[in-house]
Amino acid sequence: MVDMVEAVCSLCLSLLSTPTTKAAPSPAYQSTPAIPLFQGSAIAFFCFAATLYLLSNSHPQSILRDIFFFASESMNRNIVLCGVGGQGILLSAKIIASAAELTGFQVTTHEIHGMAQRGGSVTAQIRYGRHVHSPLILEGQADVLASLEACEALRFGHYLRPGGLAVVSSQRLIPVTVSTGQARYPEDLDQRLQQAFPRLILRDFCALASELGDVRMSNTIMLGALAAELAEITAATWNEAIKLCLKPAFINSNLAAFEAGAKA
């Protein structure tokens, strides 16, 4: 069976590669060349034969599984959050994951926080969709990159896909390597951000949080700013996720912060 189908596929390929001659059309009736009927039929027959070949394979389930894997992976949402220790990156990741789960998606998260409590880098990756097979986001695959520190956005900018959205706080936190003279903090940071990210939301989330009475809510304001990019999650679902992830005493203020970020 397999040999027969392979033979049919080979025949169809030879038909597809056979040149055809056609009389030159009159100059008054120039049009886009069409595929000859014979070759068009061969194309259809080749697709049918190829399908038979897949079905006659000894492991058709594995082939269909691989096709489904790549199709489902392409429909997932990939979000990378970054900042430094103490800014609430992990809480933001928890809220996004909760909102996606409440919407009905499969969700995976991945975090790196090492020496975060001493001001080190913190990153979190959130992936959600109908079928998510890995928690890791490859370089150039993130739909959204959100950073609570300006320089950290550049550090992890390689994760953002072409056309992806960067949501960046203008806050600058000088790392130990700079304060000890081992490195220099870029002076033209805003210009670098604009060059690196064609789609950029650059706001002073810290200042907005201070106006609301608590600078710690800058992470929730950042979530409000990126929520519009994740249109599959409704505003009501975001509010419910915030209520699930925060203590009762902080819910109302953070709901206000989220709304302020959405308007920023």
Q: Rounded to whole angstroms, how far apart are CA atoms 259 and 242?
A: 12
Q: What is the pLDDT of residues 148-207, one digit of tens each?
A: 999 999 999 999 999 999 999 999 887 766 777 787 888 889 999 999 999 999 999 999
What percent helix, strand, coil does the chain show, rounded to 5? 55, 15, 30
> Does residue 103 have a pLDDT over 80?
yes
> Would you identify the CATH topology of the domain 72-263?
Pyruvate-ferredoxin Oxidoreductase; domain 3 (3.40.920)
Q: Rounded to whole angstroms, how far apart are CA atoms 158 and 60?
A: 37
Q: What is the pLDDT of residues 40-57, one digit of tens each?
A: 454 555 555 555 545 555
Three-state secondary structure string covering 155-200: HCHHHEEEEEEEEEECCCCCCHHHHCCCCCCCCCHHHHHHHHCCCE
Q: What residue segments make up the domains of the chain, in order of their start?
A: 1-16+37-62, 72-263
Neighbouring CB atoms inside 10 A of 30's CB total 9
